[in-house]
Amino acid sequence: MQIPQFNEQHAQQLSAFLSTQPQAMSLTQSQGYLFGVICSPNPLDVHQWLEQILPNTANDLDEEMLFLFMALYHQISEQVFETGYKLPASFDLEYSKAWSEGFVSASKEYAQPLLNAPQLEPEYKEALESALSTLSFFAVDQQTMTQIAQQNSMTLDALCQYQYESMGDFALGFAELIEVVAINSGLITDEGWEE
């Protein structure tokens, strides 16, 4: 069976399936998570990322669902490395929150080791911190968002709109940033990722 081109019908099928699975991520969380996984300097294999999206049920997936997940992964990968990753054009708080939660779940695996790498130069560290805080912004609680808005003399709506637009900008170059930071961190060698 060939991996299909992921489309809106597939998105609805996956979303419906995920909503019936206990402890599973939502489709939007899965998209943020897979974006983070695909940008990782240490790629996961299919079973590793499926286990995160579908705890305890990933091994029991039927072939059709497995292929839909593979198609989603392929679509996001193609966007990240070829066409440019795009978030939906209009801001939606629920979507943004779920996407950021999924992203945090994936990026925490490699963000801290990169940020803590002793030989990483400050400008790379700052760039990574900035990208991570922007892409994970909506995973913080409402109270924190409100405080940030007040500190910046902005309404919460204006802050959210600004952050969402920034997320789109950072998402476009995040994989390249991770690659550059990983190489400069000294954690990546010819043999792969140093744990």
Q: Is residue 20 part of a domain?
A: yes
Q: What is the pTM of this model?
A: 0.92
Say yes or no to pLDDT of 2 above 80. Answer: no
Q: Would residue 1 count as lying in a domain? A: no
What pLDDT score does 58 carry?
59
Q: How confident is the model at residue 186 (pLDDT cuts 50, 70, 90)?
A: confident
State both tokens at 11. Answer: 């998105």
As to burial, measured by CB atoms within 10 angstroms (0-12 exposed, 13-18 middle, 19+ buried), residue 164 is buried
Q: Is residue 56 part of a domain?
A: yes
In a domain, 2, yes or no: no
User: According to the model, what pLDDT value does residue 57 have?
Assistant: 78
pLDDT at 91 over 60: yes
Q: Is the pLDDT of residue 194 over 70?
A: no
**3 in a structural domain:** no
Of 94, 110, 108, 119, the C-alpha closest to 185 is 119
Average pLDDT of every residue of the chain: 90
Q: What is the CATH number of the domain that holds 29?
A: 1.20.120.740
Tell me the pLDDT tens digit for each residue of 13-42.
999 999 998 899 999 999 999 999 999 998
For residue 187, what are the domain limits?
8-193
Indicate the residue type of 113: P
Quote the number of domains for the chain.
1
pLDDT tens digits along 133-184: 999 999 999 999 999 999 999 999 999 999 999 999 999 999 999 999 998 8
